[in-house]
Structure 1
Amino acid sequence: MATAAEIHLPEINPQSSSIVQQAPQQDYPVHLRGGGGSQEDPEDDPEEFSPRADDGKGAGALLNRYDVDRFRKSFLNIIYVAMLEEGYNKSYKELFNLVTNQVTRRERAGPNSFIWFRPLLRDNRNHLETLSYFLCRCEEAERVGNLNKMYAERLMLAEYFKEQKNGELATHFYQSCLRISNDIDDDGLTHAQANCLMGDDVFSRGHTEEALEYFENYYSLCRDSPEWSNNDGVSLVQDACVKLLQVYLKIGDECLVKDDQKTAVAYYRKADEFAAASGMPDQEAHTGYKLALSLMHIGSYTEAIEKFKKYRDKCYEIRDYEGVGKAVDNISKALVRQGRKKDAIAYLSQYANEAKSSGHLVSYSEACASLAEIHNNIGNFTEAFDQSEESFNTLREATDSQVSSSFDTIMTQFGICRGNEIAFSMFNIIENQDKASIADMISWKNGRILPDFQKYDSEKKVKTPAARATKKEKSNVEFLNRETSNPFELNEIRSATQKASKDDEGNEPDTEHPEEENNEEN
């Protein structure tokens, strides 16, 4: 069985030794002239037919036919003639088709398309010389049946055009590598690598479905050979798992854009399976977080909580404490949506204490902010204000407020919780309707002097109009049977109660003159 060490593919280092530097950079392709021509032919001897060193004062300088062709013909025509002279018919045919097809597509697209403004291959001297150089070498390898060298030469061309950001030519040579790899007898190792390269190429251009097919072939070929590895020492099986989960995540994200939540969850599940098979904690954490979020969106809160807990454990493993905070916050939100608000508060409080004791002040601040949000939603405005104040002060001390992304959000939440606390306390003052309360209201109106809210907050909660309404009134007003501690709903409930009472008073029967009513009915 072949191993990765037996396959020696040429490496490309664009910084030091570019592919262009490997090909001859002369006015005429020397590799197509048989090493500079035969010295026995006087017409091809550059020394005998070189210009005379008499500064042009002699009878005239003699030039060989290569120098003449350089001025008479284009560089593309010179390469065509040289290929045919040297017998590289297949290389000539492939180069001719590449140049002709590009011109045909350009003419078909028209002058209003972006293809029209792309530089043509026939006008790029470096590309033409590089193509002729490696295509001829590939044809020589084909003549002797050296498939590994054919694969290597075409892979060099693919990598060169990928470096030059020419996607069409890069894809063409990646496809030719894939075809050649089918015939290489090394138990499928080269074919697996070719599928991987082809998948990377199409995935980089946004063709996710096509990339998925190549990566699945890549995984199936190397799944039973865990000893195969790439040049970086990474197992090919692990590499295939990572590439597959990236494609599945990409397709899942595309489904979310189309608002297809269930299909996105299905693709995220596949990505989670390959993340677990890869054995990489960072990939498992990233994939599990996306799956848990999508499960929350479709209402699977119980499973979402389990996935968030796994994500939390992976974040602890890779020491990603910011990820731990995100997991705890989302677990508390899922518990709230399940109606388990007390469990959510207890869970957040426990995490906040652990974060504070371990010195992770930013995580402690975020946990306090989440607690403030829950208390604010259930009407515990005093507790919400205390938690938001703690979150605000902790974050201000722990980070630079100018660079912290969450500082503005927590500062806004702090203001909202403070406003709700003041509004609720003022409403209690209004409901008491005694002299002390009226004096506090006047001082607030005149100078915006806040009264002592503690004496009002500690008193018995003021009953809302819904609690004082009669059974008859509750039947006429749908939401009067709901107790609320939100001050912004009380005015609405009070006005509805008064309206219902007026309607009932207008419809009350006249008990003093029942006979007149009976006569009118008759």
Structure 2
Amino acid sequence: MTALPSLPRPKLTALAREKLPCSSRTTPRPQLIKEKDDIDRYLESKFKGLSKEEVAAYRNSYKKNICVDMLRDGYHKSFTELFALMEKWDALREAAKLRSVFWVQKPLEEQPDKLDQFYLYLTRAEMAERKRLFEDVYDNLYALACYFNNSEDKWVRNHFYKRCYEIAQMIKIDGGKKEAEAHGHMGLLFEEDGQLLEAAEHYEAFHQLTQGRIWKDGAGRFLNLLACESLLRTYRLLSDKMLENKDYTQAIRILIKASEIAKEGNDKKMEGEASYYLGLAHLAAGEHDIALADLNTYSEISTDLEDDLSLGRAYEAIARVLQSQGDMVEAIIYLKKFVNLARNNFQKLDVVKASTMLGDIYNEKGHYNKASEYFQQAFDTTAELTNVPLMDETKVHYGIAKAHQMMMTISSYIEAADLSSLNTLLSWKETRSNIAFDPVTEYSRRSTIVNL
């Protein structure tokens, strides 16, 4: 938001504002006392030339002065709205104190800049509403919503989003642009509150109103594309909840709808993302062939866009499908591609993930040497990341693979039961170091036993 001109105030009120606790000035206490004495002497000498309003403006708090100005200038509706907001502000502070929550927000009377914003835009909106200029009403209320768009004042922003939505219903001369924007804001409000069904309803209205339009927002982004992105995001969150509840049919249905909207948005990256999540849903439902088709689509789009990170995700998901189908050979091929892409793009977490998956496959197949190699690669990478929990996890996998590898070697020596094997086992027991695998085949060892 651009800086606003300060409101016209009497001389003493402007001086009083500088004395507010929130003022950026850091004046020593002796100087403050001296300045107060100077002001008192000024009042004594000039009192006859001051009106009651000017004296009250200096004596009253800045918040009270704002309210008095609104009433004096005839903005009764603005005063009512501001007063309700101030009451809620104080109620939230008190509730936070009762819950022993650390409330970093200062009282509203200590934030004159915010009071100025309220005064300026609320009075402008009220004046425009009297003239039935509803577009101007919307713009002023939206300006307030933007000003309070921060983590501390989000509830104030939401209040003005709702007011914008109410006013947008009265605007009929812009083809529905303001109404579309208001639906988008309401969708965001519900989405942040976790009410996904309500958010989806507003985003669907947002999408419907922007279809075939070339409207742009203040940042130059097409509203239709924003509507598609918002709707896809909400559909994906809804599908995640459905998948958690094992409601695969509904999840797939809503993701198919999302995929159709993505194609309509004419954005290849968005279309690829929709195919990716649809493929994962089919995988969760056990529909491996359909999942593979969706993920191959995602892989092709990622290749066309030269997006290595997305391509790596595609390879990982395809490998999971192939692994579920029991096609370990193909799964290993895709996982090795995933490792190479992750390493080339310095995505160390992906290197850990792919290496761990490869280690699991080789461990399950009984190829313990290969399993140890990939688990060690995952462990070494977590050590570079200094991610202690992940390091502990990969350490366990690596230890199990090494134990399997050692168990296989020791078993071969025990089964051989010859003098050389016995000496090797005794030597290992004394040192507890790595035991090397003897290349002599099991058949040749058993022949030696028979000869003995």
- Classify the TM-score, shorter chain: 0.7 to 0.9
Counterpart in 1 of 2:128? 141
Q: In the aligned structure 1, how far is the partner of 2:69 from the partner of 2:293?
A: 69
The Cα of 1:170 is off from its aligned counterpart by: 2.0
1:223 aligns with 2:207: no
Contact 1:368 1:387 in 2 (8 A): no
1:176 aligns with 2:163: yes
Distance 1:293 1:28, change over 3 A: farther
Equivalent runs, 1:51-90 vs 2, <5 Å: 62-71=49-58, 73-90=60-77
The Cα of 1:91 is off from its aligned counterpart by: 2.7
**Aligned counterpart in structure 2 of residue 403 of structure 1, from 376, 385, 394:** 385
1:332 aligns with 2:301: no
Counterpart in 1 of 2:290? 303
Distance 1:441 1:237, change over 3 A: same
**Aligned counterpart in structure 2 of residue 274 of structure 1, from 254, 261, 270:** 261
The Cα of 1:143 is off from its aligned counterpart by: 3.2
The Cα of 1:157 is off from its aligned counterpart by: 1.8
| Count of aligned residue pairs for this structure pair | 416
> SS in structure 1 opposite 2:385?
coil
Q: In the aligned structure 1, how far is the partner of 2:430 from the partner of 2:148?
A: 77
Distance 1:457 1:29, change over 3 A: farther
The Cα of 1:292 is off from its aligned counterpart by: 3.3
Q: In the aligned structure 1, how far is the partner of 2:416 from the partner of 2:40?
A: 116
Distance 1:135 1:115, change over 3 A: farther
Q: In the aligned structure 1, how far is the partner of 2:297 from the partner of 2:154?
A: 40
Equivalent runs, 1:333-482 vs 2, <5 Å: 333-345=320-332, 351=337, 355=340, 370-381=357-368, 385-386=369-370, 388-389=372-373, 402-403=384-385, 413=397, 415-447=399-431, 450=435, 452-456=437-441
RMSD of aligned Cα (Å): 4.6
What amino acid maps onto 2:417 in structure 1?
Q
The Cα of 1:191 is off from its aligned counterpart by: 1.2
Which digits, 9 at most, give the CA deviation of each residue in 1:190-245, with x for residues without a partner?
Answer: 211122223233433444333222211111111132x2222333322111000111
The Cα of 1:187 is off from its aligned counterpart by: 0.9
Contact 1:154 1:177 in 2 (8 A): yes
Q: In the aligned structure 1, how far is the partner of 2:41 from the partner of 2:56?
A: 24
Contact 1:281 1:317 in 2 (8 A): no
Contact 1:158 1:169 in 2 (8 A): yes
The Cα of 1:174 is off from its aligned counterpart by: 1.9
Which region of structure 1 is more displaced relative to structure 2, 439-448 or 127-136? Answer: 439-448
Q: In the aligned structure 1, how far is the partner of 2:393 from the partner of 2:41?
A: 84
Which region of structure 1 is more displaced relative to structure 2, 185-194 or 256-265? Answer: 256-265
The Cα of 1:287 is off from its aligned counterpart by: 4.3
Q: TM-score, normalised to structure 1's length? A: 0.64
Q: In the aligned structure 2, how far is the partner of 1:204 from the partner of 1:300?
A: 33
Q: TM-score, normalised to structure 2's length? A: 0.73
Which region of structure 1 is more displaced relative to structure 2, 152-161 or 405-414? Answer: 405-414
What amino acid maps onto 1:160 in structure 2?
Y
The Cα of 1:327 is off from its aligned counterpart by: 3.1
Contact 1:131 1:157 in 2 (8 A): yes
1:155 aligns with 2:139: no
Gaps of 5+ in 1: 1-11, 31-50, 463-522
- Please identify the structure whose Cα radius of gyration is greater: 1
Gaps of 5+ in 2: 15-37, 448-452
Percentage identity across paired residues of the two chains:
25
> SS in structure 2 opposite 1:455?
coil
Distance 1:99 1:425, change over 3 A: closer
Q: In the aligned structure 2, how far is the partner of 1:452 from the partner of 1:112?
A: 69
1:112 aligns with 2:98: yes
Q: In the aligned structure 1, how far is the partner of 2:162 from the partner of 2:220?
A: 25
What amino acid maps onto 2:405 in structure 1?
E
Equivalent runs, 1:88-107 vs 2, <5 Å: 88-100=75-87
Q: In the aligned structure 2, how far is the partner of 1:263 from the partner of 1:197?
A: 26
Contact 1:23 1:130 in 2 (8 A): no
The Cα of 1:67 is off from its aligned counterpart by: 2.2
Q: In the aligned structure 2, how far is the partner of 1:64 from the partner of 1:194?
A: 45
Distance 1:72 1:403, change over 3 A: closer
Which digits, 9 at most, give the CA deviation of each residue in 1:155-193, with x for residues without a partner?
Answer: 122222225832333222222222222222111112111
